[in-house]
């Protein structure tokens, strides 16, 4: 527990230990998500970029549970089994499109951006012609601090709002069996949800599963390229794909932090916390806590058990965790038998981010079995 007052940010407690992150996340009444959901540079807070947004991550119980229930059944393992074949088909098509690529290419723009995008768009029911816009929304919303993505928000905002309005109007008039329809027609206690909550729901659904999973896939591939012994171990034991998927999430931990605000005076790890103070939960740090993980700084594809905090913990535990795990496992299952040779051909570039981070460009070269 460390009190931080960094330049450009409002002050907060940095929570970096596995046990403390779990303890705080398990007490949503004492440590609330509202009003400061995440650390954002003061300059961006002052621009009011997150004002007027009410998503699941800015809600607290009991309200949070009602809203979470609107989408939760879509992300249960049982429901997801019914789309496993279609995720595999999408993955295979992406590999096929790059199978005879002989030179350098960017794994992010040509592969890892598209897999999570196509998967979440198919769950939502987004049309193929809207995928490029959804991709732009996701990249920009989670890349606000990065000069490559952030400045595009001003130009994008009206198109984003127009898109959500079109979806809302269309699915309210002609509901189908997709998740967009479930959200557009959602009710809580028999009443339709408010317009701000509805648009916020569409926003979190189109963004939360994208950059996170993309960064896990990219960082996971980079870890395997840099550690040929771990790649060979997986190729010899492809059944480890599910276990390796969790190690990839622990290792890359794309969500850097979420915040909580103390609702009363309390204590964490012997440290008094005053009501109103903010606490920032650093998930990547908790996932490398040497009190919990042996050789915490080693990437081990067979690490099991793996109680990482990459998906958070407790009340706000990632809604899409099973979907993300499935996408990474299927990626590995399709990649391992195909890859003959793979190399890094340039310097990986990381996103400038304090919220969702990772590699935004990964130049590689590969030879695949066709």
- Interface residues toward ligand HEM, by CB under 6 A: 25, 56-57, 68, 120, 204-205, 208-209, 212-213, 216, 249, 254-255, 258, 283, 310-314, 316-320, 323-324
Least separation in angstroms between residue 176's CB and ligand HEM is 18
Shortest separation between residue 72's beta carbon and ligand HEM, angstroms: 9
Minimal distance, residue 370 CB to ligand HEM, in Å = 29
Q: What is the CA 69 to chain-centroid distance, rounded? A: 19
Nearer to ligand HEM, 143 or 254 (CB): 254
- Distance separating alpha carbons of residues 210 and 206, to the nearest angstrom: 7
Identity of the residue, 150 or 209, whose beta carbon is nearer to ligand HEM in the bound complex: 209
Least distance in angstroms from the C-beta of 298 to ligand HEM: 20
Answer yes or no: are the C-beta atoms of 22 and 314 closer than 8 Å: yes
Shortest distance (Å) from residue 138 CB to ligand HEM: 11
User: Toward ligand HEM, which CB reaches closer, 221 or 340?
Assistant: 221
d(CA 151, CA 147): 7
Report in angstroms how near the CB of residue 346 gets to ligand HEM at its nearest. Answer: 24
Q: For residues 112 and 140, which CB has a smaller minimum distance to ligand HEM in the complex? A: 112
> Minimum CB separation from ligand HEM for residue 206, in Å?
8
Rg of the chain's alpha carbons, rounded to an integer?
20
Cβ-based nearer residue to ligand HEM, 180 or 313:
313
**Which one, 17 or 101, has the nearer CB to ligand HEM?**
17
Closer residue to ligand HEM in complex, CB, 47/314 = 314
Query: What are the backbone angles phi and psi of residue 331, rounded to the nearest 5°?
Result: -55, -50
The three-state (H, E, C) secondary structure of the chain, written as one string: CEEECCCCCCCEEEECCHHHHHHHHCCCCCEECCCCCCCCCHHHHHCCCCCCCCCHHHCCCCHHHHHHHHHHHHHCHHHHHCCHHHHHHHHHHHHHHCCCCCCCEEHHHHHHCHHHHHHHHHHHCCCHHHHHHHHHHHHHHCCCCCCCCHHHHHHHHHHHHHHHHHHHHHHHHCCCCCHHHHHHCCEECCEECCHHHHHHHHHHHHHCCCHHHHHHHHHHHHHHHHCHHHHHHHHHCHHHHHHHHHHHHHHHCCECEEEEEECCCEEECCEEECCCCEEEEEHHHHCCCCCCCCCCCCCCCCCCCCCCCCCCCHHHCCCCHHHHHHHHHHHHHHHHHHEEEEEECCCCEECCCCCECCEEECEEEEEECC
Nearer to ligand HEM, 25 or 230 (CB): 25
For ligand HEM, the closer CB: 311 or 366: 311
Q: How far is the CB of 317 from ligand HEM (least distance, A)?
A: 5
Nearest-approach distance from CB 283 to ligand HEM, in angstroms: 5
């Amino acid at each position: 527990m460390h009190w931080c007052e960094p330049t450009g940010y409002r002050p907060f407690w940095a929570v970096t230990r596995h046990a403390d992150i779990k303890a705080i996340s398990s007490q949503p009444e004492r440590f609330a998500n509202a009003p400061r959901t995440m650390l954002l540079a003061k300059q961006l807070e002052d621009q009011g970029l997150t004002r007027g947004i009410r998503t699941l991550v800015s809600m607290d119980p009991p309200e949070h549970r009602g809203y979470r229930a609107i989408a939760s059944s879509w992300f249960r393992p049982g429901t997801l089994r019914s789309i496993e074949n279609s995720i595999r088909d999408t993955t295979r098509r992406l590999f096929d499109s790059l199978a005879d690529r002989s030179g350098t290419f960017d794994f992010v723009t040509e592969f890892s951006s598209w897999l999570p995008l196509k998967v979440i768009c198919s769950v939502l029911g987004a049309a193929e012609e809207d995928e490029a816009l959804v991709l732009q929304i996701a990249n920009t919303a989670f890349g606000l601090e990065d000069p490559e993505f952030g400045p595009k928000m001003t130009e994008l905002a009206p198109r984003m709002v127009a898109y959500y309005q079109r979806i809302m109007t269309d699915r309210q008039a002609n509901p189908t069996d997709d998740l967009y329809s479930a959200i557009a027609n959602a009710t809580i206690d028999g009443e339709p949800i408010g317009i701000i909550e509805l648009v916020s729901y569409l926003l979190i659904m189109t963004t939360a599963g994208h950059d996170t999973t993309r960064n896990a896939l990219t960082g996971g591939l980079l870890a395997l390229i840099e550690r040929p012994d771990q790649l060979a171990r997986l190729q010899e034991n492809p059944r480890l794909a599910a276990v390796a998927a969790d190690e990839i999430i622990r290792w890359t931990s794309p969500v850097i932090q979420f915040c909580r605000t103390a609702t009363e005076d309390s204590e964490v790890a012997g440290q008094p916390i005053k009501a109103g103070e903010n606490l920032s939960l650093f998930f990547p740090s908790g996932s490398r806590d040497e009190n919990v993980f042996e050789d915490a700084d080693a990437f081990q594809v067979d690490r099991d058990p793996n109680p990482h905090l990459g998906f958070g913990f407790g009340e706000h535990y990632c809604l899409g965790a099973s979907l993300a795990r499935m996408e990474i496992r299927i990626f590995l299952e399709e990649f391992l038998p195909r890859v003959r040779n793979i190399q890094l051909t340039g310097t990986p570039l990381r996103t400038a981010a304090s919220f969702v981070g990772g590699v935004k460009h990964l130049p590689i070269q590969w030879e695949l079995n066709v």
